[in-house]
Amino acid sequence: MAVITDERLGRVAISMLNSPGDERIGQAIGERGVIGAIEYWRAGQGSSVICARINSTLERAEATLAQAIAAGFAFIAPGDSQWPAQLSDLDTQMPVGLWIRGAHDLARLCAQSVAVVGARACTAYGERIASELGTMAADADQCVVSGAAFGIDAAAHRGALAAQGFTVAILACGVDVAYPAAHKGLLDRIAGEGLLVSELPLGALARKQHFLIRNRLIAALGQQTVVVEAALRSGSLSTANWANALGRTVWGIPGPITSASSAGVHREIASGQANLAMDLDSIFNELLQV
């Protein structure tokens, strides 16, 4: 076996394992460094799944990175100028690297940012509020971070774009994959005027488990998180939970007490896990003081 000495290619290969957020990977890198962790797995130590796949991904890593660069994509890693410092708050669950589609600087955009999340099956009220949040963020020179899903996410992205602001979409698939397919136009526009970001390699398809895992990145990249609408079992609440765990401020947008789409938000507010947003100005007044 050839000795691997290029840390960036090592990180590309690890990202190709399709194991985002795996704490075993983060712990191995933290204890041994990227090259040491790779040699550890190649020696048959640690996770049997990782050990079985590491050599094949290493063989493909250089060609994969070259193809990505030729297609206009980028791969950034800790230590790069574009790497957002706040991702280190994730500790062993920090991504090994990020695939980027777009020409902007991720660290610069996320230096002033707000995460906006909520229900896919949102109400007209929630869609309007999310759009207004996106527009107000742009007016306040804040980047909107969200997940490009149907409903609240898309409305927040569109609100920011309509006000000629910046927005970053964290995807649960490769940055070259249009998911949901109906959002191809929106994703292309975000890539042109903001950034598409994923820890999954090019060509990776969206899987159910990827959505909850990527929520930690949305929470980490936003200085604050706003939950617009969320049912009691909404995945958006996992973003709020991550934001709280990372010490970020979480805001909840209240809705009608009869609305199932707002029940999860109301529970977060009642339990003290989210601040009650009395109006949208209060959110941005605090953001501008960060």
Predicted TM-score (pTM) of the model is: 0.94
pLDDT digits (tens, 9 = 90+) for 46-71: 889 899 999 999 999 999 999 999 99
How far lies 269's CA from each of 246, 251, 272, 276, 287, in Å? 18, 8, 5, 6, 19
Give a yes or no: residue 81 inside a domain: no
Q: What is the CATH number of the domain that holds 117?
A: 3.40.50.450
The yes-or-no verdict on residue 1 having pLDDT over 80 is: no
In this structure, the answer to whether residues 169 and 43 fall within a common structural domain is: no
In this structure, the answer to whether residues 65 and 139 fall within a common structural domain is: no
Give a yes or no: residue 77 inside a domain: no
In this structure, the answer to whether residues 225 and 114 fall within a common structural domain is: yes
In this structure, the answer to whether residues 263 and 185 fall within a common structural domain is: yes
Mean pLDDT of 238-247: 97
The count of domains in the chain is 2
C-alpha to C-alpha distance for 182 and 185, rounded to whole angstroms? 8
What is the structure's pLDDT at 36?
95
In this structure, the answer to whether residues 135 and 249 fall within a common structural domain is: yes
In this structure, the answer to whether residues 114 and 220 fall within a common structural domain is: yes
Query: Do the beta carbons of residue 159 and residue 138 sit within 8 Å?
Result: yes
pLDDT digits (tens, 9 = 90+) for 119-167: 999 999 999 999 999 999 999 999 999 999 999 999 999 999 999 999 9
DSSP string, 17-28: T--TT-HHHHHH
> What confidence category does residue 21 fall into, taking pLDDT thresholds of 50, 70 and 90?
confident
In this structure, the answer to whether residues 42 and 117 fall within a common structural domain is: no
In this structure, the answer to whether residues 36 and 168 fall within a common structural domain is: no
> What confidence category does residue 18 fall into, taking pLDDT thresholds of 50, 70 and 90?
confident
Percent residues over pLDDT 90 in the chain = 89
ω into 180 cis (within 30 of 0): yes
Query: Do the beta carbons of residue 197 and residue 115 sit within 8 Å?
Result: no
Domain of residue 43 covers 7-70
Which amino acid appears at position 118 of this protein? G
What is the structure's pLDDT at 286?
67
The yes-or-no verdict on residue 3 having pLDDT over 60 is: no
C-alpha to C-alpha distance for 220 and 168, rounded to whole angstroms? 13
What is the structure's pLDDT at 281?
87
Give a yes or no: residue 78 inside a domain: no
First-to-last alpha carbon distance for the chain, in angstroms, is 50
Give a yes or no: residue 82 inside a domain: no
